Every structure is written in C-alpha cells, then in structure tokens.
Amino acid sequence: MSLNQEDNSFYIADRKFSRKYIQIPPVLDTDGIKYTPFKYSLENSFQTNPEPYDDHHIAEVNRAIRRYIDNPKTNSNIKSISQQEILSFLKKINPRKATGPDGIPNKALQQIPTNAITFITKIFKKCFLCNYPPFGKQRMS
C-alpha cells in the first residue's frame, strides 16, 4: 500500500484505522431471507382497492372541481397587490437572515429580475381572486 498525499490515500488509510467499524447485520425475516418484511409491506401498500368504484360519483366530483376552477368566486373587497408593493417588501428583507421554508436565500430574492416580479404579482392576484392564500402563508394554531 503506497501512501501519497496527492490522492488522499494517507488520509483514507488513517481514517480506516482511527474509526471503529461495526458491521450491521441485514434485516432478516423468520425464514432467514433478507428484506422479506419490506417486500410484504410494499406489496400491501400498492394493491388496488378491494371495494368497487362508483364511476358516477367520480365523474360528479370531477365536474364539481372543473366548475370551481373555471368559475372561481371573486371577492371584490380585496385590495389588489402591485409590483411596487412586492419590490418594497423585497428591499426590506434582511439579506443576512436565515432562509425560509422554501430554501431561497434572501440575497437571491432581492436580485429577482423585473419580469419575474411581474409573474409573481400575477400569481398573487390570482390567489387573492380565488380566495386562496398565497403559498408560504400558513395558519398559526
């Protein structure tokens, strides 16, 4: 075994000797076969429903959903959001703060191009028109 600093073989050899290696045995079933419990679990998870389907009810639900999406109830007393409001909000963000649940850094949010802000404004307007809160707004309970 040749130890060379360029290919990190010295560090790899040191790590092998300094760490205690514990071999973890595989998960075995009662008959000694590996992974059988997982096989049965997956098999049970992906079976078709045993009860018969009601095609009329499924079609009725699909029609109701399509009607709701095509003709949303508009709420006229909601103030429309503008690009300037979104821009002013993005300027107020502290770039050193931690990222939110979306994982986008605040510094990247401040550098969003104008056409993306136009698109975000349209998304927010549609969300408000459909009485659907914009993503990221979670109810605190």
> How confident is the model over 24-52, as a mean pLDDT?
72
- The answer to whether residue 72 sits within a structural domain is no
Q: pLDDT confidence of 79, banded at 50, 70, 90? A: confident
Total domain count, the chain = 2
Q: Is 130 exposed, middle or buried (0-12, 13-18, 19+ CB in 10 A)?
A: middle
Is residue 26 predicted with pLDDT exceeding 70? Answer: yes
Q: pLDDT confidence of 139, banded at 50, 70, 90? A: very low
- The answer to whether residue 32 sits within a structural domain is yes
Residue-range definition of the domain harbouring residue 42: 9-46
This prediction has a pTM of: 0.41
